[in-house]
């Protein structure tokens, strides 16, 4: 398994800007400091967040916060072309030419006011992506010092293998949570362990706080019991379930509430007992494990 350069929990910034809280520079700088004070030093971005505005807003806040760039890690993604006011696109699509990847990274660096990304991810797979083109872009960006590491996001094992044949993939950011745990049974997490790829999980709390259905009801009873047993909050139990997986999954949390950030970090110190871990999985499935 890779020794990760990132904090055990990563701050997802998608909801910090135009698509969510719409923080001003001062408030965003406060959020950066809140994360760092809770030992979250890694920040997950994508060029499209906030209709291509979040990275520039974060860059201004990062300067305002006066933090040492070397003390944090910046992740960004490229490849999705949105139909919107910011770009002349007639339809949402994906673009992974060498020229576009390099241009997109350079835009992210300019907006984030940094000289390098700790990690670049391809945001979603495209049927038209060519491994040679992607590899050429990655090689150029690495040799120029503009990215340190490379990975993918939402890629299946076969899609990952297609790119991996030409360039090394260190990370794959996928949807994974107690309510969306298919990657644990469809071979995705197995494949990552085999190929020394560290998973990141977006939406790691799943639909636990969003849906009122049979699955949520089953899970809630078990989560509440375990939260009481381990003296932590519900989100800490949900995250500790992910952290126990041997693939070394790094959750990307999207909360904008300082108290929930603090609660989430308590999951790192929770070591779920084996049967407690399986009780959560059984609750998610609605029956005992096979």
Q: Is residue 199 part of a domain?
A: yes
Q: How confident is the model at residue 204 (pLDDT cuts 50, 70, 90)?
A: very high
Q: How confident is the model at residue 289 (pLDDT cuts 50, 70, 90)?
A: confident
Q: Is residue 133 part of a domain?
A: yes
* pLDDT recorded at residue 245: 98
pTM given for the model:
0.96
Q: How confident is the model at residue 2 (pLDDT cuts 50, 70, 90)?
A: low
Q: What CATH number does the domain containing 117 carry?
A: 3.20.20.100
Tokens for 9, please give them. 């929990």
Q: Is residue 239 part of a domain?
A: no
Print the domain residue range for 151: 10-217+248-262
Using N-to-C axis directions, what is the helix angle for 25-37 and 54-65, rounded to 10°? 70
Q: Is residue 71 part of a domain?
A: yes
Report, as an integer, the average pLDDT of 174-199. 97
Query: Mean of the per-residue pLDDT values for the chain?
Result: 95
The mean-pLDDT minimum among 114-123, 215-224, 267-276 falls in 215-224
* pLDDT recorded at residue 4: 78
Is residue 23 annotated as part of the catalytic site, yes or no?
Answer: no
Cβ(212)–Cβ(152) below 8 Å: no
Dist CA 272 CA 226 (whole Å):
9
Between the alpha carbon of residue 134 and those of residues 100, 152, 172, 261, the distances in Å are: 10, 11, 16, 35
Total structural domains within the chain? 1
Report, as an integer, the average pLDDT of 2-18. 91
DSSP state of 95: -
* pLDDT recorded at residue 19: 95
Dist CA 36 CA 77 (whole Å):
22
* pLDDT recorded at residue 3: 67
- DSSP per residue, 120-180: EEE-S--TT--HHHHHHHHHHHHHTTSBS-EEEES--HHHHHHHHTTS---EEEEE-SSSS
Q: Check pLDDT > 80 for residue 277.
A: yes
Q: Is residue 240 part of a domain?
A: no
* pLDDT recorded at residue 217: 82
The mean-pLDDT minimum among 35-39, 202-206, 211-215, 263-267 falls in 211-215
Cβ(248)–Cβ(199) below 8 Å: yes
Handedness of CA 90, 92, 97, 98 (dihedral sign): positive
Q: Is residue 15 part of a domain?
A: yes
* pLDDT recorded at residue 6: 98
**Which residue among 23, 49, 96, 230 is the active-site one?**
49
How far does CA 248 lie from the centroid of its chain? 13
Report, as an integer, the average pLDDT of 264-288. 94
Tokens for 115, please give them. 């000289």
Q: Is residue 257 part of a domain?
A: yes
Q: How confident is the model at residue 215 (pLDDT cuts 50, 70, 90)?
A: confident
Q: Is residue 33 part of a domain?
A: yes
Nearest to 254 by CA among 45, 7, 99, 52: 45
* pLDDT recorded at residue 216: 80
pLDDT tens, 69-113? 999 999 999 999 999 778 889 999 999 999 999 999 999 999 999
pLDDT tens, 116-156? 999 999 999 999 999 999 999 999 999 999 999 999 999 99
Dist CA 20 CA 23 (whole Å):
8
Dist CA 59 CA 28 (whole Å):
10
Nearest to 38 by CA among 241, 244, 239, 280: 239
């Amino acid at each position: 398994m890779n020794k990760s350069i990132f904090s055990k929990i990563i701050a997802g910034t998608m909801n910090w800007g135009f698509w969510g809280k719409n923080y001003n520079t001062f408030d965003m700088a406060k959020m950066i400091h809140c994360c760092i004070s809770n030992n979250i030093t890694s920040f997950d971005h994508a060029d499209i967040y906030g209709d291509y505005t979040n990275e520039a807003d974060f860059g201004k806040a990062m300067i305002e916060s006066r933090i040492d760039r070397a003390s944090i890690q910046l992740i960004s993604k490229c490849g999705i072309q949105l139909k919107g006011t910011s770009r002349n696109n007639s339809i949402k699509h994906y673009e992974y030419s060498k020229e576009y990847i390099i241009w997109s990274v350079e835009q992210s660096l300019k907006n984030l006011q940094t000289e390098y990304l700790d990690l670049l991810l391809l945001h979603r797979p495209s049927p038209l992506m060519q491994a040679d083109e992607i590899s050429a872009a990655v090689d150029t960006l690495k040799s120029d010092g503009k990215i340190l590491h490379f990975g993918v996001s939402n890629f299946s094992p076969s899609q990952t293998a297609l790119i991996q044949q030409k360039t090394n993939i260190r990370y794959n950011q996928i949807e994974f949570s107690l309510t969306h745990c298919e990657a644990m049974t469809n071979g995705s997490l197995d494949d990552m362990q085999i190929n020394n790829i560290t998973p990141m999980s977006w939406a790691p709390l799943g639909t636990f706080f969003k849906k009122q259905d049979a699955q949520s009801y089953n899970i809630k009873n078990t989560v509440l019991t375990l939260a009481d047993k381990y003296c932590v909050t519900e989100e800490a139990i949900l995250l500790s379930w992910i952290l126990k997986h041997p693939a070394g999954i790094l959750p990307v949390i999207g909360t904008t509430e300082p108290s929930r950030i603090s609660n989430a970090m308590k999951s790192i110190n929770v070591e779920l007992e084996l049967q407690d871990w399986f009780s959560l999985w059984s609750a998610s499935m609605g029956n005992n494990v096979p």
